[in-house]
Amino acid sequence: MLQFTSSDYADYIKKAYDFIHSKGDYITALDADTGDGDHWINMDMGFGKLNEKADELGKMNISDELKQIGMIMMSVIGGSSGVLYGSAYLSAAAKVKGKETLAMQDVCDVLDSMLKAIMERGKAKEGMKTMIDSLAPAVKAFQDALVSGKTDQEICELVARASEDGAENTKTMEAFKGRATYQANKGLGHLDPGAVTMSYQILTLMDCMKEKLS
Amino acid sequence: MGDGPEADDAERDNKTMKKIINDPTKVVSECLYGMELASPDKLEYTPELEVISRRNPGNKVALISGGGSGHEPAHAGYVGKGMLDAAVAGNVFASPSPDRILKAVEKVNADKGILFIIKNYSGDIMNFGLASTLAESEGIQVDSVIVKDDVAVPDSEEGTGRRGIAGTVFVHKLTGAKAEMGGTLSECKAVAEKTIANVRTMGMAMSPCILPAAGKPGFLLGDNEIEIGMGIHGEPGIEKTTVKTANELAGILLERIFADYNYEHSEVAVLVNGLGATPLMELYILNMEVQKILKEKGIRVHRTYVGNYMTSLEMSGCSISLLKLDEEMKTLLDAPCDTIAWKQF
């Protein structure tokens, strides 16, 4: 049974930073096609700051840790991504208040409350070519898998794939928000960089959970 | 314009940036510090969090606005008696984050309620929205109004909808007067909502601006080209056309405003606003034409403001705003105010 602690979450943050940090050229090139070209720089700064504070974060209880992550992301990432991740983490922090560790269902609830917070704050839904298009399928896969009798390892695998496929699907979508909406083709044919960096985070989280389970 | 996108890129790369700055990464903080020093007894600058606040706002509802930098004097230039209590700045053309907005709340909160005056951009809506949730969780009463005066954009429920531009300064002025007179949070909000409902703005641009961090323009206009309805961040407008006379331009811009809202037989305030690089001489010529048309239409003018009230760095161009006034609004517009960008006695 999964018992994901605040220290495990801090380790996940470090790994997510390494992953995002290594993808600079790729994400910036994606963003140059449809956006301002600053998405990776901002995400890298945000996760860089989290990485610096990871040891400190790992000593907090899980709810305070998630809240602190949200505050750091909103101020360091800034812009729209910062406030959306900030809203997501603050909502997740409220969801897990009083918990010592996270079981599979708790992680699913965390992702679900993040999804709802992002949709509400961003007034957006699936299919609008945003980070939601990676997170929403992951949450759906998680919820379905939890009631299907699959092993925890299998569930992590399914959630990771769903987030990856979801990000990939943004290629066929038109943008409703942000700079890409001003383009004649609304970004059609291009991946949404925000969905891709979201999938990196979910992939990393699932990897960390699998490691903890084994 | 060049021959296709590559020629266009090359032409933009060739534009050199001439600006009076020290370091592109410090333009926001150094600008705000300079604003504080323009009125050090009345304004206080909070470094890092990029807030300009009144030193002695008094025991009243606090009004806070803000948004991306590059629109100076908006919004810090409107902080002072009779207008805003604090303004929060983001980076150039980027929304301030919630922690900055919370700092402004902390600076001016007098426990009479806080009203956020937000221009309708998705980044601003989200950041002020989260700041308001966080402030409320600390027991602070916060309410918000959203300004959307740009008639170049259709107002829609889907998508972000109509942008907030120069007409926002009327919201600062009238709501600020109401708060100064001791209005409650709901009374101030009602004044702001009424102002928003009665103000319309239409603009045009003649040349682009250069973001200090980018070092080159984000778009180009041809030698004889202007863009009607362009946004204050260079968002595409309604149509590109050739350079017009002041007379023609006043006609085109006002026609759009009249098509959107009925100002017949009313009394109005007029704002002829420059985008940063247009000389006042030209704005006054435009104002002459605007006043002619208003007179022909039987629209009475209560007050006129001409100048650079909400700019886009060194973009050249203008906007015209009309605010339909009732008796209460006239009193609020006529009330004194003392800020670095708008003084009225």
Q: How confident is the model over B282-301, as a mean pLDDT?
A: 98
What's the pLDDT at B1?
40
Q: Which of residues 108-167 of A touch B (CB under 8 A)?
A: 121-123
Integer Cα distance of A14 and A10 in angstroms: 6
Domain boundary among B167, B197, B227: B197
Q: Is the confidence at residue B2, as pLDDT, over 70?
A: no
What's the pLDDT at B213?
79
Q: Kindly report, residue by residue over A45-61, the tens digit of the pLDDT.
A: 999 999 999 999 999 99
Domain boundary among B156, B173, B197: B197
Active site residue B233: yes
Strand B51-54 to strand B86-92: parallel, antiparallel, or no bridges (unpaired)? antiparallel
Q: Measured between CB atoms, does B98 come within 8 Å of chain A?
A: yes
Residue with tokens 């314009």: B1
What's the pLDDT at A33?
77
Contact between A176 and B97 using a beta-carbon 8 Å cutoff = no
What's the pLDDT at A179?
64
Report residues of chain A scoring pLDDT below 70.
Answer: 36, 178-184
Domain annotation covers residue B248? yes
CATH of the domain at B158: 3.40.50.10440
Q: How confident is the model over B64-81, as a mean pLDDT?
A: 97
Residues in chain A closer than 8 A to B127 (CB atoms): 83
Q: Is the confidence at residue B8, as pLDDT, over 70?
A: no
Domain annotation covers residue B12? no
Active site residue B302: no
Residue with tokens 């021959």: B3
Residue spans per domain, chain A? 6-213
Contact between B235 and A182 using a beta-carbon 8 Å cutoff = yes
Residues B223 and B176 in one domain: no
**Which ranges of A59-171 would DSSP assign to H, the alpha helix?**
62-76, 79-95, 104-122, 132-146, 152-169
What's the pLDDT at A187?
80
Q: Is the confidence at residue B341, as pLDDT, over 60?
A: yes
Q: Measured between CB atoms, does B186 come within 8 Å of chain A?
A: no
Q: Is the confidence at residue B318, as pLDDT, over 50?
A: yes
Residues B86 and B32 in one domain: yes
Q: How confident is the model over B126-133, as a mean pLDDT?
A: 95
Q: How confident is the model over B83-108, as a mean pLDDT?
A: 95
Q: Is B195:B7 a contact under the CB 8 Å cutoff?
A: no
Burial status of residue B34 (CB atoms within 10 A of its CB: 0-12, 13-18, 19 or more): exposed
Domain annotation covers residue B323? yes
Q: Is A17:A51 a contact under the CB 8 Å cutoff?
A: yes
Q: Is the confidence at residue B7, as pLDDT, over 70?
A: no
Domain annotation covers residue B3? no
Q: Is B303:B333 a contact under the CB 8 Å cutoff?
A: yes
Residues B225 and B105 in one domain: no
Q: Is B95:B67 a contact under the CB 8 Å cutoff?
A: yes
What's the pLDDT at B159?
63
Q: How confident is the model over B197-220, as a mean pLDDT?
A: 89
Q: Kindly report, residue by residue over B272-289, the tens digit of the pLDDT.
A: 999 999 999 999 999 999
Residues B102 and B238 in one domain: no
Contact between A177 and B123 using a beta-carbon 8 Å cutoff = no
Residues B170 and B33 in one domain: yes
* Cβ atoms within 10 Å of A54's Cβ, excluding its own: 21
Q: Is the confidence at residue B214, as pLDDT, over 90?
A: no
Report the mean per-residue pLDDT for chain B. Answer: 93
Which CATH class for the A6-213 domain?
Answer: mainly alpha
Residues B175 and B264 in one domain: no
Domain boundary among B197, B229, B244: B197
Tokens of A190: 């291009």
CATH of the domain at B300: 3.30.1180.20
Q: Measured between CB atoms, does A178 come within 8 Å of chain B?
A: yes
> Chain centroid to CA B64: how far?
13
* Cβ atoms within 10 Å of B49's Cβ, excluding its own: 20
Residues of the domain holding B232: 199-344
Residues in chain A closer than 8 A to B90 (CB atoms): 78
Residues A111-141 as b or e (16 or more Cβ within 10 Å = b): bbbbbbbbbebbbbebebbbbbbbbbbbbbb
Q: B134-142, long-range: CB within 8 Å, 24+ apart, which pairs?
A: B134/A90, B134/B98, B134/B102, B135/B102, B135/B105, B140/B105, B140/B109, B140/B111, B140/B114, B141/B113, B141/B114, B141/B185, B142/B105, B142/B113, B142/B114, B142/B115, B142/B116
Main-chain phi, psi angles of A213, to 5 degrees: -70, -30
Q: Is the confidence at residue B4, as pLDDT, over 60?
A: no
Contact between A75 and B99 using a beta-carbon 8 Å cutoff = yes
Q: Predicted ipTM?
A: 0.79
Strand B114-119 to strand B267-274: parallel, antiparallel, or no bridges (unpaired)? unpaired
Q: For an interface test with A, which of B25, B28, B91, B99 has the most A Cβ atoms less than 10 Å from its Cβ?
A: B99
Residues in chain B closer than 8 A to A178 (CB atoms): 122
Q: What percent of chain B has pLDDT over 90?
A: 82
Q: Which residue has the higher pLDDT, A13 or B159?
A: A13
Q: Measured between CB atoms, does B143 come within 8 Å of chain A?
A: no
Residues in chain A closer than 8 A to B125 (CB atoms): 123
Residues B62 and B184 in one domain: yes
Residues B71 and B191 in one domain: yes
Domain count, chain B: 2
> Which of B99, B129, B160 is closest, CB to CB, to A71?
B99
Q: Is the confidence at residue B3, as pLDDT, over 80?
A: no
**Confidence category of residue B16, pLDDT binned at 50, 70, 90:** confident
